[in-house]
Amino acid sequence: MRVFWVLRAKTLLFGLMAAFMLLLILYSWNTAAQTVFPWGRNNVYFMGHSIDPKEPGLEELVRELTAGLDQPPLSAAYDEVNEAVIPEINGFEIVLDETVERIKSARKGSTVTPVWRETAPEQRIGDFAELPIYAGNPIRNQVALVVNVSWGNEYLLEMLDIFAEEAVNASFFLVGRWAEENPDLVTMLVEAGHELGNHGYSDPHMKDLSTEAIQEEIRRTNEIITEMTGGIPQWFSPPYGEKESKIFATAADMDMHTVLWSLDTIDWTLPGEDQIVSRILDNMHHGAIVLMHPTEQTPGALRRIIAGIKQKDLELVTVGQILDPTYWPAKYSILWTGH
């Protein structure tokens, strides 16, 4: 009997020791997890940092992590040199108290982005509707590529392949007559994610046209593009880049803003790829709008221009994107996610 109880006691002791060791291991793992792994606590990720929502100084920590992010709005302004308008940028501010509450209510291990709101500038490009736009706001680290299309289909296809390979979208300003004759290419442009603009219907010298004739050129092309794509062009660019107040005013009366360019490849003169590339990259600037056409020298130059712009850490966007007043949220997104 005694042997039985001794054996039973030893078994019980071993069981208790095993249980104790298991608890010790679990405790040690939990302690280590809380020290090494954020998910060991109730931590969340905010601005690339692992923070405890129950931390007493949470509000001050959030204030420190978001310090310097607020940006005042920049109003659209008159450009005296070019007699044009410089586009606006919306302001941006972090809503501190709502951000703190979002962190407190977040699931463990989740990534929390700040609560923010945009603030409006006093003036927008619509307040300067009869003035052309040559570039985006110079604060933007973005560049827009514009392709005016009325011919050169074979080179256009090659350019589309390059845009696809480089994951770049551009803005194509179409002559209406060309669009009528090439519906498949228009569809290809839209399906590839490119933006379409209005370049008149018959490629005329609009400075020699009456207001009514200019209206008809714009209206007819808008109808063609809308019928083919379902979208309504927002931007107008006159053929030959003619700068006449009656052209700008007529487009404005039709709820379209005239877009020109700050950098011109002048590729239609066939100056050679090297000259096309240097003309653009040597004069590159923030907010640039770059004009090109589908010529035999443009595809080769295009690939090098895209590479050069990317090397300058500039983002390639469409005209609509470079003129979008919302700028800071996308620019700050990498800070919010921490990667």
Closest CA to 317 of 174, 129, 130, 166: 166
Residue 176 lies in a domain: yes
Residues 97 and 229 both lie in one domain: no
Average pLDDT of the chain? 89
Residue 30 has pLDDT above 90, yes or no: no
The total number of structural domains that make up the chain = 3
Q: Mean pLDDT throughout 10-34?
A: 40
pLDDT, one tens digit per residue, over 318-328 is: 999 999 999 99
Instruction: Determine what percent of the chain falls in helix, strand and coil, rounding each to the nearest 5.
Output: 50, 15, 35
Residues 145 and 206 both lie in one domain: yes
Compute the distance between CA of residue 285 and CA of residue 262 in angstroms, rounded to an integer.
9
pLDDT, one tens digit per residue, over 143-186 is: 999 999 999 899 999 999 999 999 999 999 999 999 999 999 99
Confidence at residue 39, expressed as pLDDT on a 0 to 100 scale = 46
Residue 103 lies in a domain: yes
Residue 334 lies in a domain: no
Of the residues 126, 141, 173, which one is the last residue of a structural domain?
126
Residues 319 and 259 sit within 8 Å (Cβ to Cβ): yes
Residue 15 lies in a domain: yes
292 HSE (CA, 13 A, CB side): 28
Residues 29 and 112 both lie in one domain: no
Confidence at residue 12, expressed as pLDDT on a 0 to 100 scale = 36
Hey, what amino acid is at 246?
K
Residues 196 and 319 both lie in one domain: yes
Residue 332 lies in a domain: no
Residue 209 has pLDDT above 70, yes or no: yes
More confident residue, 14 or 330: 330
**Which domain range does residue 48 map to?**
44-126
- Residue 113 DSSP label: P
What is the largest distance, in Å, between two alpha-carbon atoms of the chain?
121
pTM for this entry: 0.84
**Strand partners for 71:** 92
Residue 339 lies in a domain: no
Q: With b meaning 16 or more CB within 10 Å and e meaning fewer, what string describes 8-34?
A: eeeeeeeeeeeeeeeeeeeeeeeeeee
Confidence at residue 336, expressed as pLDDT on a 0 to 100 scale = 74
